[in-house]
């Protein structure tokens, strides 16, 4: 059901410092910052030959990243994102296996302009999983 690894998301306490580190120390192709108000984050994508890194920074006081950074002040891996061909079929299959879909269970539009869902980390070995329809 899952396809390619789309990205690994890292929550960071300082978005520009993190982007500069990838750009200057690692020589990575760092994209521009983009606000995603529906998700409460500002993101920067780092393009790699085989996947992407998504830097996450809180957008507003209600951002889900605030709580993560309170527990992990230096930042850290927040979630992994896999591609799926049909997000509704993937959701329905996962729910039939007992996996919990976070939020309303309905896809939202993610940072790439495509439908996404998040799966409960307790159902996936402690990892928050995002699914993105391609």
CATH number of the domain that 58 lies in? Answer: 3.10.180.10
Q: What is the mean pLDDT of residues 47-57?
A: 97
Q: Which of 54, 83, 130, 132 is catalytic?
A: 130
3-class state of residue 24 by DSSP = helix
**Residue among 123, 116, 125 nearest 7 (CA):** 116
- Give the pLDDT band of residue 5 (cuts 50, 70, 90): very high
Q: Show the domain range for 68.
A: 5-133
What tokens does 36 get?
Answer: 């995603």
Number of domains composing the chain: 1
pTM value? 0.94
pLDDT for res 47: 97
Mean pLDDT of 80-109: 97
Q: What average pLDDT does range 116-125 have in this prediction?
A: 97
The CA distance from 91 to 15, in Å, is 32
The pLDDT of 55-81, averaged and rounded, is 97
SS3 34: strand
Residue-level pLDDT at 121? 97
Percent of the chain with pLDDT over 90: 99
**130 catalytic per annotation:** yes
| Average pLDDT over every residue of 51-76 | 97
């Amino acid at each position: 059901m899952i396809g390619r690894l789309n990205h690994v998301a890292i929550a960071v306490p300082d978005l520009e410092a993190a982007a500069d580190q990838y750009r200057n120390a690692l020589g990575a192709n760092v994209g521009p910052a983009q606000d995603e108000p529906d998700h409460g984050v500002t993101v920067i994508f780092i393009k790699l030959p085989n996947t992407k890194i998504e830097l996450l920074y809180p957008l507003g006081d209600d951002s889900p990243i605030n709580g993560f950074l309170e527990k992990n002040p230096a930042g850290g891996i927040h979630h992994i994102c896999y591609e799926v061909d049909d997000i509704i079929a993937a959701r329905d299959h996962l729910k039939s296996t007992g996996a919990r879909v976070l939020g309303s269970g309905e896809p939202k539009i993610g940072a790439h302009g495509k439908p996404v869902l998040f799966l409960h980390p307790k159902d996936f070995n402690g990892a928050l999983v995002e699914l993105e329809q391609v």
